[in-house]
Amino acid sequence: MNENNNLNNEFENFDDDFAQIVVNNDPDEIITDTIIEINETDTVNKSSRKGMRVFIVALCIIVALSIAITGGYIAGRYSVRSSNNDGTLIELFSKSDSEKYSAEVIYQQVNKSVVGIVIYNSEGIKGYASGVIYSEDGYIVSNDHIYEDAPNAKFKIYTYDGKVYNGTYLAGDTRSDLSVIKVNSSGFFPATFGDSAEITCGEQVLAIGRPSDATSASSITSGIVSYVNRRVRNATNYSSKLIQTDSAINPGSSGGALVNMYGQVIGITSSKLVGEDYEAVGYAIPSATVKEIVESLIKNGKVVGRSRLGVSYQEVDSVTAEIGGSKIFGLKIAEVSKDSDLYGKVKEGDIITHVNGKAILYDDIILDIIENNMPGTEITLTVVNSSQKNITLKCKLLTYEGESSYKTTPNALTPDGDSSSGGTFDFPYGN
């Protein structure tokens, strides 16, 4: 009973309190306050959602910046280019994000990627060369001229750890003087190729190869870059832009590595000037060229997408012209190929003076245009004929079909060592 009275008293007190609220506040105001309280709650929810959206946007920005920074780091390490032949993307390491090393450290690392090559056929050993491991699965890059005098050439490959492998000719290219030899094995140490576009005159470089004896350990020589992109005729008599260095490149070192002080291969050594008037003038094929050519050789068995004009010429510079009593300089035509777009339009003795409006002060000007454009590209030439008249001609560039110095002859030894007569050839260094 007392509990019921207490409970009733509590309800009465509650009613009194509510009545007091009604007296002190207009009922409409009570409703209004309730609505305001609800709206305030909704506002808080909207603010929370807005804050969440801001947080998500900020997070996305942070992630994007992280990706950009990472991309910038990778871009600093790699320079990705599209090759001039078949559009294949190539990767070259940049030295901007790398660390310089001592010659001792570089030798220990790069030597794992340099091999000795013995070139031989049924007549015996025909020569020695060096090579650089291009991939883990046994692709090796060297020069094309190394087997020029060895028909049906076979190869023994000597690695840094004293192992010997059979090498098979895959493809070669006389114009660039590059070749690819394949070893049917894996687990090799491919070289790190740096970006030859970053080379500067005076930069210190090292040459690593196997002069004289491919079976011995690699040697290392030191020098500098004497000239960048010097156009010279290489060992196969084609004009190419090469790296000139005073680092010693001796017989047997052809196909070896020219390395910067970041441990990156920036060139494949190819030749040197020999004679009493020359000292320490060596050349290497730039790594950008190496990558483009080798990728095409592996993919296509030859280099595709290169151009030619179809004209042989003699360069007549301004000095030569003046000595001969003429003011006309350029390229004096010696012969025009029948498949050239210029055949029947120009004659022997005519002089090409301009290409695409540029005066041909030296042949680099037109050669650069030919090399940097695909077959079928139309160029404009200004020609001075035998009547001393200027003629403007448009012509399309031809396709240059790559070829190799590698030769085969009938009744030659097969790669397994068996001749067509059923005999065998026992090479002294094993099978």
How many whole angstroms separate alpha carbon 6 and alpha carbon 363? 116
**CA neighbor of 234 nearest in space, from 313, 175, 291:** 175
- Euclidean distance between the first and final Cα of the chain, in Å? 116
Q: Which structure tokens are listed for 36?
A: 């305001």
Instruction: Give 342's DSSP letter.
Output: T
User: How many other C-beta atoms can be found within 10 angstroms of the C-beta atom of residue 183?
Assistant: 20
Catalytic-residue membership of 102: no
Q: Which of 79, 144, 145, 271 is catalytic?
A: 145
> Looking up tokens 């196909």, which residue turns up?
255
**Residue 177 is a catalytic residue:** yes
Give me the catalytic one of 79, 176, 254, 287: 254
DSSP secondary structure, 324-339, as one string = TT-S--EEEEEEE-TT
CA distances from 57 to 48, 67, 334 (A): 14, 15, 69
Which of 94, 113, 130, 177 is catalytic? The answer is 177
Strands 164-173 and 282-286: unpaired
Give CA angle at 318 (317, 321), nearest 5°.
85
How far is 25 from 19, CA to CA, in rounded Å?
Answer: 10
The pair of three-digit structure tokens given for residue 427, joined into one six-digit string:
């090479």
Amino acid 204 reads Q
Q: Which two tokens stand for residue 315?
A: 């360069």
Q: Which tokens sit at 354?
A: 């301009």
The beta strand positions in 274-411, using DSSP E, are: 282-286, 307-308, 311-316, 330-336, 351-355, 358-359, 378-384, 390-396, 398-399
Contacts of 197 (CB under 8 A, 6+ apart): 79, 288
Amino acid sitting at position 31: I
Helix spans in 78-131 (H): 103-110
Residues that are catalytic? 145, 177, 254
